[in-house]
Structure 1
Amino acid sequence: MQTILAFILVFGLIVFFHELGHFIFAKRAGILVREFAIGMGPKIFGMTKGETIYTIRLLPLGGYVRMAGDDFDRIELQPGYRVGLILNNEEKVEKIYLNQNVQNPNVLFMEVERADLTKKLWIEGYDEEERLVRFDVSRNAIIVENGEETLIAPYDRTFEAKSLWNRTLTIFAGPLFNFLLAFAIFLLLGIFQGVPTNEPIVTEVVDNSPAAVAGMQAGDYVKSINGKPINEWADLTSYVQNSAGKELSVIVERNEELVELNIVPDTVKLENGEEVGQIGVMYKSPFVKNPFKAVVYGFQQTWEYTILILQALVHLIAGHFTLDDLAGPVGIYQVTGEVAKHGFFTLMYWTAALSINLGIMNLLPLPALDGGRLMFFGIEALRGKPVDRQKEGMVHFVGIVLLMILMIAVTWNDIQRLFFQ
């Protein structure tokens, strides 16, 4: 149960913020947003507020913001359709019934001849007396099909009608909000848990180690090595690792007094064959609660995690990783459960890392991803006109198919690792 709850929290948070970025900037640009969905597949829960339906869906494979004008958001009335119309006080169509019998004396039936429900907003056809009639359509008209209501989308409220700048911002905002979420998490961790100081303070000395033999004690504050000032723990580890077998003069502060220790680091051979020095001390960074340092910490951690993920991505592209090194939803679920055992703060670090990872992956210039759409916007900017929608749609469709194949392969590997190893 703990794993399930942790996964719902982590997955829901990073997907919600990603889609929230798209949603906010779409609304800001005046785009009609039809649905804000967390998850994919069958709907578990839905709530309509204003123009948008907010849904939670069964499969934890992402989410989406469905905007008017998307490839799958086409409402067309073909000639020969029999529809029912309800007019408002201005004699404009405010409701169009499709594919159903309506028992309402106020409904006017017609067989559609022509219609424009996006730009000029009118509908024309033959009424029950076979007279050709034409009605203007309200900008807020609703189409009812099989009991479901859908707002029409005047062209100026569709995604494609907006400027290149607004479309770019709307798509880029999703990954951007993943980085903002990571920053917010690190900021809150810095405020409530504290910011690690990275001070070179020894917290534990291993028995019979070079440090123990030299007389080093837990609580010693390392001030210098061979006369070189030590400002943080990384300085200490770097100096020691590069001094295997060499005697070091280490000055530590203990009970407000300076003590000199002579330590000879052991030589340790790593798996890659490299030899490094080791003196046998343990470190746990003390934390300080300072709101200003927490802000700096938020930016610093977001930047460092971004660099680490980009480096891993470069290794992946260079072929240093295989399919077995990748993880899908099942793998993330398993790791999230293990991370949750180490406490809430650790789980939040994991959430921030995943959020940055999602942001970076979505910015890759691959079809069907946000980065793929941004790539087409870049081409549009260079050409001075958009790429043909059908050609772009085909590229994204192929991308979706390939991504689904990759997802299936990765998920199958996750299941094998989980149940058969």
Structure 2
Amino acid sequence: MLVTIITFLIILGLLVLVHELGHFFVARRFGVKCDEFGLGFPPRMIGFVKDPERPLGPELEAEGAKRAEGSGVLGFFKQWKIVKRKNKDARGNEKEYKNTIYSLNWIPLGGFVKIKGEQGEEAKDEDSFAHQKLWKRAIILSSGVTMNFIFATLLLSIGFIIGIPQVIDEITPKYASVKDEKIQLLSIQKDSPAKQVGLEVGDIVVSIDNQKFKEIEDVQKYIQEDDDGEIIVTVKRAGEEIEQTVTSEVMEIEGGQSKKAIGVVLAKTGTVSYPFFQAIWQGIITTLYLMKLIVLSFYHLFKDLIVMHKVTIDIAGPVGIAVVTGQVVRLGFIYILQFAALLSINLGIINFFPFPALDGGRVVALGIEAVRRKPNNQRIEAVIHNIGFGVLMVLVVLVTYRDVVRFGGKLMGKIFGYFDDVVS
């Protein structure tokens, strides 16, 4: 349980941090000042800022570089100053520095970037976000989402280099290396004999009636020709072998034919790895494919919500994601990589929804500004974004409540069980 919680926090924190790094790097590239870049969320534990007392100017920058060079490593560290948690001046206002504050914060969930002028203030300053041209602001706002997609591609590419479990078929490239071939349950029909005895999607077929098989066709043929009707299926699940007696039935399959079966779809799978450059390409096309699937899923979600007035797709909140994380952790490192990549793509797509408070909503606001050809009223825009943020928080609470109802019993049992083990 503890490993699941830690893994969940690390994955979520890393994805948020990557997103904020995207905003940070692009803002700096366009000459926009970032007041603070924080690892974790406030309250601040400690912060560092580079030579805050030094006046700005190219000649003084050169002087500072010369001073650092002359002092070696010690000179480099002398350029930095510690910023206290309560960084207030005599009037109680937050002190401002010429350079970015890099802070370490107490809540270990990702990070944040505070960009100068992101709320429309200080528009006259050249290093303010509000002073930049519309296209620059749009790119800065979009850079977090872009970074999430790039990070997902990186994770998947690493996975394809190491080797990712996937279905092996005739379209698997010849240059791919395939190891650990096996037959797995790809899907199980509702109320089928396999479902009734507790077989699950992802189970690895070890043997049937103590006979081992290498090809799916041989498994299907054996079941169809079995006179007894009862077969002993041995599967491997999470490293443990499970034996179940399944009674086959005459079932209708594709094409209108009827054959003896147990109601499962089998797939030949293996660990597939690729050469370096091919792995990168596979990472790119897999990211694009997953983006397409996720966008289509959201389309059907909203369509059913509007037309049928109900949600027909399972939506997972923080608790649901934590539960899935626990399942993924048990499967191993390579599955954690794939799961993190999928979450990164999800985070990117959701963040670009044209909804107030999200990056997509802020880009829409820029579009309105472009059409009107004059700046938006910042007070009104801020109110709209605050309302949007409030709505999002309500949705998070509702989805979390739904998760707790679905998983709460098992989850609380595991939590209390963990603490019982600690106490005993």
8 A Cα contact 2:220 2:261, kept in partner: no
1:157 partner letter = D
SS at match of 1:341: helix
In 2, the alpha carbon distance for the partners of 1:323 and 1:213 equals 35
| Higher share in strand | 1
1:180 aligns with 2:150: yes
Q: How does 1:54-73 map to 2 (within 5 A)?
A: 54-59=102-107, 63-71=111-119
2:20 partner letter = E
Aligned mate of 1:312, from 281, 288, 297: 297
Match for residue 279 of structure 2? 294
8 A Cα contact 1:316 1:322, kept in partner: yes
SS at match of 1:172: helix
- Structure 1 pair 330/194, CA: closer, same or farther in 2 (3 Å)? closer
Q: How does 1:35-46 map to 2 (within 5 A)?
A: 35-44=36-45, 46=47
Larger Rg: 1
8 A Cα contact 2:156 2:283, kept in partner: yes
8 A Cα contact 2:22 2:143, kept in partner: yes
Task: Select between 167-176 and 188-197 the one with higher mean Cα deviation.
Answer: 188-197
| Structure 2 stretches lacking a partner, 5+ long | 52-98, 173-180, 184-204, 210-218, 226-251, 411-424
- CA-CA distance at 1:49 after TM superposition: 5.0
| Structure 1 stretches lacking a partner, 5+ long | 75-117, 120-153, 216-239, 247-264, 270-277
In 1, the alpha carbon distance for the partners of 2:312 and 2:260 equals 38
- CA-CA distance at 1:196 after TM superposition: 5.1
Aligned mate of 1:357, from 324, 330, 346: 346
| Higher share in helix | 2
Match for residue 221 of structure 2? 211
Match for residue 403 of structure 2? 414
1:166 aligns with 2:136: yes
Could you state the TM-score of these two structures normalised by the residue count of structure 1? Answer: 0.61
SS at match of 1:368: coil
Could you state the TM-score of these two structures normalised by the residue count of structure 2? Answer: 0.61
Match for residue 342 of structure 1? 331
Identity of aligned residues (%): 33
Q: How does 1:234-253 map to 2 (within 5 A)?
A: 242-243=254-255, 245=257
- Structure 1 pair 302/241, CA: closer, same or farther in 2 (3 Å)? farther
In 1, the alpha carbon distance for the partners of 2:269 and 2:223 equals 21
In 2, the alpha carbon distance for the partners of 1:168 and 1:347 equals 32
- CA-CA distance at 1:356 after TM superposition: 0.2
- CA-CA distance at 1:295 after TM superposition: 2.0
Match for residue 61 of structure 2? none
In 1, the alpha carbon distance for the partners of 2:319 and 2:261 equals 41
In 1, the alpha carbon distance for the partners of 2:397 and 2:108 equals 13
8 A Cα contact 1:245 1:267, kept in partner: no
- Structure 1 pair 349/288, CA: closer, same or farther in 2 (3 Å)? closer
Q: How does 1:109-120 map to 2 (within 5 A)?
A: none
- Structure 1 pair 315/398, CA: closer, same or farther in 2 (3 Å)? same
User: Over the residues paired in the alignment, what is the CA RMSD in angstroms?
Assistant: 3.2
- CA-CA distance at 1:34 after TM superposition: 1.2
- CA-CA distance at 1:383 after TM superposition: 2.1
Structure number with greater CO (CA < 8 Å, separation at least 6) is 2
In 2, the alpha carbon distance for the partners of 1:203 and 1:188 equals 23
In 1, the alpha carbon distance for the partners of 2:102 and 2:366 equals 28
SS at match of 1:36: strand
Match for residue 91 of structure 1? none
Paired residues in the alignment total 292
